[in-house]
Every structure is written in C-alpha cells, then in structure tokens.
Amino acid sequence: MGTSARVCTVALCLLSIFSAPWAFAERIKDIASINGVRSNQLVGYGLVVGLDGSGDQTTQTPFTVQSVKSMLAKLGVSLPANVNLQLKNVAAVMVHAELPPFAKPGQTIDVTVSSLGNAKSLRGGSLLMMPLKGADGQTYAVAQGNLLVSGFGADGADGSSVTVNVPSAGRIPNGATVERGVVSPFNHDASLVMNLHAADFTTAFRVATSINESLGEGVARPLDGGSVEIRAPLDPAEKVAFVSMLENLQVKPASAPARVIVNSRTGTVVIGREVRLEPAAVAHGSLIVTINENINVSQPEPFARRGNTVVTPESEVSVEQEGTRMFLLDAGVTLNDLVEAVNKVGAAPGDLVAILEALERVGALRARLIVI
C-alpha cells in the first residue's frame, strides 16, 4: 500500500470514529453556555526573588532595579539616589490568571508566571505579593508563592548549553487568593439566554423544542441562530435547580455544513461528511524533469607545449511522463467514493488539494473550500 493510500485510509478511519457521535443526542451543557456566566482574565506585574544567579541582567533591564527600589522604599528601606544595584537573583515577571465564574473572596486560583526581562530561569524562585487586576483596573486577587518550573537549562564553560522545555515560565497552584468577586447577571435577570458554541439555526430550534417539550410550552424561544431565551424562576435556589434540569436535556445537534478545510502550511486536508460531488471527469498525471550537472576536467597531454587545463561542465536532462489516468465521479458521490477514486490514480495528499480546487472551479464540488 502506497503512502497516499495509507493517508487516505487513516482519514476514512478517523471520519468513521468522529462521525458516529452525531447519530446520538448531546446534553445542552455540552453545546451551549449561559450568557454572562464566564471567566475573567487577570494580569499583574511582580518580582520573583531567590534565583540562583539566573535573574535579570540589570544593565539591560532597568525596570527590574526600579521595581526593587520602589519595593524597598515601601518597606521602609531607603537607598542613596546614586546607588547602582547589581542584582542576579531577582527577575521581573508578568503574572496572569483566570477568575472563574461565581468565585468568592477567600477562594484560591492558579496563576502562571512568565519572565518579562532576560532572566535565564525562574527555577527555585518565589513570587512576592502582588495584585492581579482585571480589565477595569480593579484588584480581584493577590498572588504569592513558590514557583513550579518544569523547564531546565545548563551552560558549559565553552559556551555550549542544553535547555529542556521553557525554564523562564512557571506556575503556582492555588497561588492567588480571590479578594473580590465579579457580579453575575445570573441571579438578577428574569430570563436566561443560552449561547450555542457553534451557531446553527437548526440546532437553536431543536434546543428550544426540547426545552418546551420537557419543561412546558413557551418556556424557551430561539432569538437567532446562536441564542435561545429561556424563562427562569427568580428565586436563586429554584433557578439553580431549574438550570440543573435544563443543562441535562438531550438535543441532537444539526449536521455541520459541507466544508473542505485545507491547511496550506502543513498540507492537511479534512473533508466533512456532508461533502457531495456533481458528475465530473478527472485526469491526474505529472511531468518529472530531472537535470544533473557533471563537472569534467580537460587536461592536455604530458609534455605538450600548447594547451590549458580547463573545466568543462556537462548537463544531463531527462523527462519522464507519468501515466495519466482518468476517473469518473458520478452525481452525489460521498467522501468514501472520492477517496477511493483518488487512491486508484495514486494521488498524494498534495495532489488531492489540486483536484478539489479544480472541482470547485468547475462547480462540481458541493461544499465550501476553506484554506487556512
């Protein structure tokens, strides 16, 4: 079996695996989310101390020295204005985290710490207390703790070095304490809006129909192809129980639109299960031109009075025409038929892209061709 045949066979196996779940219903919680119930991004600037000489080079990162002086001043340590600090165990870092929905003060969240300057490694360092702020500039959490760094690096005296993973970034599990929660519209609105993860009019209609059949007529109505409005109780306890029943209802999502995705960088081709073809005839063949350059040396006979040694290039050009074969595609053929036909002519995945583009040009490809 050739390489192209193996690639297409694997594609068919993957298609059979991933297309099977579409025949079964899914829970609403797996295909939609409640509007306004989301996480929020937090970010902050701080210092990591206790490094083993792998911190920022202060001559190239003056903001690290400024941060250290500002921190010491707040702690009551005054330094002369003209002092030049030579720090090796300190690194300026950016810290970011996600504040989950319904997070309350006192709870902890994980944080990620990344070097901002030219520190070689954050291994063994400790993050000093620093605030994490949201997009509105308010402080929502405070982070501090010892870093867990999976990366490792080592340098030799001759300039050689070995680096495993990324030593300039790490995480602190439960490294931030929530100081302020985000107000959610969940407990204040008389209705809920479910947003589909993949907008589709058919799926939105089926979600509303499933809710009305289970919880009563008129409870849900689709707003558009991506949202469904649902009447909900005002009491928080009743609303939580209502959403618990709601998100476990079963809905059969609509089939995805017919698409062919081509990754121009990797050559990956993914063909959807709804792709169909109109009648078309396809011929596949290629012309292979090979050019070899040989260098020869022309040298005069021994004791010859005339003549010079010269280099004489010699080119060999050969042309090979592969056998061109044509195959016929009937109306309404499926992905399986297309892959089998391509296998018969021995087309590689790159040739498959050219065939699909040509089929779209002549109007025989009943799908949207997307190149990413």
Mean pLDDT check: name the lowest of 84-98, 194-208, 255-269, 333-347.
Answer: 333-347
Domain match, 211 and 142 both: no
Domain match, 137 and 78 both: yes
pLDDT above 90: percentage of residues in the chain? 20
pTM of the model: 0.65
User: Which among 151, 178, 205 is the end of a domain?
Assistant: 178
Q: 43 pLDDT exceeds 80?
A: yes
User: Which among 251, 269, 299 is the end of a domain?
Assistant: 251
Domain match, 131 and 239 both: no
User: Which among 178, 213, 242 is the end of a domain?
Assistant: 178
Domain match, 277 and 343 both: yes
Domain match, 32 and 64 both: no
Domain match, 32 and 51 both: no
Domain match, 119 and 246 both: no
Type of residue numbered 121: S
Domain match, 13 and 57 both: no
- 60-69, 124-133, 325-334: which is most confident: 124-133
Domain match, 59 and 112 both: yes
Cα dihedral 113, 117, 41, 174 in deg (nearest 10): 10
CATH number for the domain harbouring residue 200 = 3.30.1360
Domain match, 329 and 307 both: yes
Give the count of domains, the chain. 3
pLDDT above 70: percentage of residues in the chain? 69
Residues spanned by the domain of 366: 1-24+255-372
Residues in contact with 68: Cβ distance below 8 Å, sequence separation at least 6, in sequence order: 47, 85, 87, 90
Domain match, 45 and 156 both: yes
Type of residue numbered 327: F
> What values do phi and psi take at 79, rounded to 5?
-115, 150
Domain match, 204 and 107 both: no
CA atoms within 13 A on the CB side of 319: 2
Give, in degrees to the nearest 5, the angle at Cα 294 between 292 and 297.
Answer: 170
